[in-house]
Amino acid sequence: MPYTDRLPEDTMQQRRLFFIQLLGLLALVSLSSSVAATVILGKGNSSLLGGDLSDPEDTVVDVGSYGMVKTADEMKPPKAPWRAVVLSPTSPPGTAPHQIHAYQSWQDSPACAIFLNKPETRKWYISFIDGGYGGPTEAEPYACAVQFYQPHVLTHFTLTSAPEMPDRDPKQWAIQGSNTGDDDDWVDIYRCDAADRSSSPFQVKGRTQTILFTSFTSASIAKELGASDLKKLMAGLKGTKITTADFVNNHKAYVWFRIVVYSCFNPNSTTFANFNRPPGFSLGQLELFGVPGDAEPIVVQPRVRRVKIPVEELIVPEAYDPAFIISYWCGPPKAETTLERYREIKDCGFNVAFPAIDQLWEADSKENTEHNQKYLDICQQAGLKALVWDGAIPKGNGWSQPTAAEVPGIEKSLDDLIAKYASHPALCGYVLGDEMGMSQHARLGVVTAYLLKKDPRHLPYYNLLPNYAFKQNSEYEALVSDYIDTVKPVLVSWDHYRQMFEGGDERFYWHNLEIMRRLSIKKRIPYNQIIVSLKHMGYRECSEVDLRWQVYTSLAYGSRGIQYFTYWYVKELAWAEAPAMITKDGKRDLKWEYAKKINNRIAKLGPTLATLTSTGVYCTTPLPPGAQKLRAEAPVTKAEGGPLAIGCFQDPAGKQYILVVNRSFKTAVNASLKLHSRVTSAAEISQETGKTLDPQPTQNAPLGIALEAGEGRLFVLSETGIFFQPLAEILGGEDSQLTAIEFEPVNADSKSTGTLFWRRSGDASFTGLPLQPIDATHLKVTLPAAITQAPFDYYLEIQEPDSQPIREPRLGAEAPLVAVPDQSPPTAVLELATAVAKSYRVALTWKPATDDRGVAGYCVYRGTEDAFPIGDKPALARLPANKQNFTDDSPPSKQTAWYAVQAVDVVGRKGKVEYIRVNVPGHEPPANTLSLKAQPGSKSVMLTWSGDLEPIVSALEIHRGEGAQGALTKLDEVTDMAASLYLDATAAYGTQYRYEIRPRSREGLLGESGQSASASPLR
């Protein structure tokens, strides 16, 4: 046991009593009433309807064990009639095999269990901690999808809850259909957005309960179903009537169906209070029923515009030198600050030195100033730039928001710092701190702004925490966003080491890279990742492949250089005296040689990479958590040969680059990349010379790339053709009078000319409209008014000097594109109404708008007067088309508010605005609907309560009196609104006590007393 001191016996007795009482509480809770929104067919295996699409003959074989690690084909259950079952999330190679595919689970609870017809003993289970990446979210849900051989129209389905742990039930979830299985092709058939158990079909006491969801009622059942399904359903209903349909049958057929889970009743978490009851998700069974149908043809856009970043949105040129930083943490100690040591660092391929391991974070002193001057002089002689730590900048605590009175003192310290070092030619920048948290950003921003104002050529350097230091990626994004917005850095640095755990752990790595890439590019700031090279805290001893993998995956996501943790041996960190790049004896470890090889190669790429801005990063299967698969806008349309990461970039001239990395730690791969038809060739940037090698033609053959494990290679692409947004996407958008379209030739400086050929759909001949240059990079065509009134065919022909005409699409008049102008905006929403109007909540509902192209979603606004103008007013919410309700959790109390709802169609045209007036009441005492029980214990009384609390409640006051008529006085209060029990340990044996609970709002208003409960403590 971790504790050696035994608790006193009386304390042990009290605790035993407490847990006995707690068990009683759980029994009481289990008896609480629930509301089922749909038809319940029963419990257990016998409650299933049977013979669904996933197992029409009920012959799928449960193989019994699913913990082994084999391929999906090897583990697919015998007699399974489906084409495939796929799962998200999965455990990528090199990590613990929690669930590598839908047929495998190290806890013997695979996703395919929901098709095995055994909900009493089988379930699909994912632990939030082990393989579940903290829990499902709207952006990264859990999903299990099944692909059938023939398309079907879904008519009804059943779900069966797992046999235990009700908190793992799905809370927000959907059943969806698709004909491709692609991430962006899923359509909601049914969606549940439960706020709590009262609005969920899953109930606490309903274990292995089978719930029926239909698109019909009993009145229409016979005409909706085939004879076989009708017979099974009528037997399962046992006379129960279906009075309301759960979803609308849109009569669309799909070959893919999936259940997707966005949240569970237990909150997302990467920790657990009870090792035996970790948070997670589970489901017993899914049955799908439908009738055969014809799937809609998959429409492929004939032309996709590339991701093109305007020059004004590219990452800004760095003010500091060098622009591509190759550095480390924990430099040689002060006693080793010699020219020999720093030439050794230079020889290892580093270009920026980091402060001495025993000088970093030291207080300001004459000795440290002298050391820094010596350190800078030696770095200059060795050909290195240097980051400097000076104690004039406080570290750690004390970085709170400075007062106005403090600012002059801060500026004086920084002036002294600049005077000491700014003129030294070797200075790269100033180290400000490391991983201090959001509360420190205010002062850090003051320091950074002043340094950049007074010494703009040198880098104020600070390092952020990794994402795994936070429970949720959303919390981490908030930290990084606040840092960028408040501090306004010129470089974003962070560290990430968990990918090098023994056995591997990539759960957080790709998320972290993508978050930093996205947020930094949004504010046009370069970024640089720190990787691990020291064996410590569970991180493994890094091989050459480990270092190479970390470096090149960082570069693929746009990191402008790399930093290693650590260079020098760190006695306090190293496990079993594990060496860094330098051993405890001051000698070079093998990792020094590995780093030298890698650093010298990426240094040749540095001048190119420092000019590029990332436009996207894509990974091949198996897809790591947090990574994106190839998308239509990428210059790569297909990638084969192994697990790859493909970083896409653009330079200021508009040229496209790709950095291709082998994600395998174990094997070399021969990657084969099919590039977009506009790409004519790819030329590698040499990692020996930095020069561009001879181009490889790519239009008639894939680009072949040989990659060692963890290796990356950079290519510049040559392109031809025209980039434009298809007319079908933009005609009649925001501007219904649109009469001109702009196009951009690839070779913008070649003085291209061209023609748009168009004809009414069905006409025999095309009419040509000349393209006119409007600036150095764009051509424009003026459209006659009649062209936007009806569908028409079109193609483009671009003529560049001294070359053959280029047609888009390539076949021109033989395969023209089709534009269908949008003829009308969406209608107004119908029946806009107020469902709830409280001081703390206004809930709106409405019936959907309609549109000839389709409604894409709704915007909700709030104003102070009727028909308030929308204009550029920011929306309170932007909702998907399938959601026709909105809740405002912070309305203006005791005021009149006007709300507006506006539909937006698929081409971006906004519809008529519908307004509604809401008289928001003032703050009122919270309602008291709690049910209170009192249970006697030994010289104590256990209070338990159940019921819903209004969100304004911030505390529950416990009031106690003696006897049936004794005055009640406040005994205590409970501020944890998730709590549902209170132990009165001050109660005396032989006295009858009466208790009441009163809710108190955050405004201090006290609610009425609810029902009372009485008890007399036991001896």
Query: In the 8-state DSSP scheme, what is residue 593?
Result: H
User: For the chain, how many helices (H) and strands (E)?
Assistant: 13, 49
Measured CA to CA, the distance from residue 105 to residue 919 in angstroms comes to 54
Amino acid letter, 414: L
- Residue 96 has a pLDDT of 62
The DSSP-derived string for 498-512 is GGGBTT---TTHHHH
Higher pLDDT, 766 or 97: 766
Helix ranges (DSSP H) in 877-979 = none
- Residue 728 has a pLDDT of 45
Helix ranges (DSSP H) in 459-508 = 473-487
Q: Is residue 270 over pLDDT 90?
A: no
Q: Is residue 823 over pLDDT 70?
A: no
- Residue 734 has a pLDDT of 38
Which pTM does this prediction carry? Answer: 0.53
Helix ranges (DSSP H) in 662-814 = 727-730
Tens digit of each residue's pLDDT (9 = 90 or more) over 341-358: 999 999 999 999 999 999
- Residue 784 has a pLDDT of 66
Tens digit of each residue's pLDDT (9 = 90 or more) over 491-533: 999 999 999 988 788 989 999 999 999 999 989 999 999 999 9
Strands 492-495 and 722-723: unpaired
Query: Would you call 22 helix, strand, or coil by DSSP?
Result: helix
How many angstroms separate the Cα of 11 from the Cα of each of 17, 253, 938? 10, 65, 12
Tens digit of each residue's pLDDT (9 = 90 or more) over 725-737: 445 444 443 333 3
Measured CA to CA, the distance from residue 754 to residue 796 in angstroms comes to 7
Helix ranges (DSSP H) in 557-663 = 590-609
| C-alpha distance across the termini of the chain, in Å | 33
Query: In the 8-state DSSP scheme, what is residue 390?
Result: -
- Residue 858 has a pLDDT of 93
Measured CA to CA, the distance from residue 696 to residue 635 in angstroms comes to 15
Tens digit of each residue's pLDDT (9 = 90 or more) over 584-628: 999 999 999 999 999 999 999 999 999 999 999 999 999 998 899
Tens digit of each residue's pLDDT (9 = 90 or more) over 116-142: 999 999 999 999 888 888 899 988 899
Which secondary-structure segment (H or E) carries 434? strand 427-434
- CA pseudo-torsion sign 166, 171, 176, 180: negative
Q: What is the mean pLDDT of the segment spanning 245-271? A: 92
CATH superfamily of domain region 636-719: Golgi alpha-mannosidase II (2.60.40.1180)
Higher pLDDT, 901 or 816: 901
Q: What percent of the chain has pLDDT over 90?
A: 57
Q: Is residue 486 over pLDDT 60?
A: yes
How many angstroms separate the Cα of 917 from the Cα of each of 366, 841, 844, 863, 1019? 70, 14, 11, 10, 61
Fold held by 35-291: Jelly Rolls (2.60.120)
User: How do the residues of the chain divide into helix, strand and coil, expressed in percent and rounded to 5?
Assistant: 20, 30, 50
CATH superfamily of domain region 931-1015: Immunoglobulins (2.60.40.10)
8 Å CB contact between 294 and 253 = yes
Tens digit of each residue's pLDDT (9 = 90 or more) over 535-561: 998 899 999 999 999 999 999 999 999
Q: What percent of the chain has pLDDT over 70?
A: 86
Instruction: Report residue 711 as tokens.
Output: 């290796």
Q: Is residue 959 over pLDDT 90?
A: yes
Query: In the 8-state DSSP scheme, what is residue 15?
Result: H
**Polymer length in residues for the chain:** 1019
Domains 636-719 and 931-1015 agree in fold: yes
Instruction: Report residue 566 as tokens.
Output: 């650590």
199-203 — which CB contacts under 8 Å span 24+ positions?
199/35, 199/37, 200/37, 200/169, 200/171, 200/265, 201/36, 201/37, 201/38, 201/159, 202/159, 202/161, 202/166, 202/169, 202/170, 202/265, 203/34, 203/35, 203/36, 203/166
Class of domain 325-610: alpha beta
Query: Would you call 85 helix, strand, or coil by DSSP?
Result: strand
Tens digit of each residue's pLDDT (9 = 90 or more) over 14-63: 444 444 344 443 333 333 333 334 799 999 999 999 999 999 999 999 98
Strands 561-565 and 325-329: parallel
For 830-920, CATH number?
Answer: 2.60.40.10
| Per-domain boundaries in the chain | 35-291, 325-610, 636-719, 739-804, 830-920, 931-1015
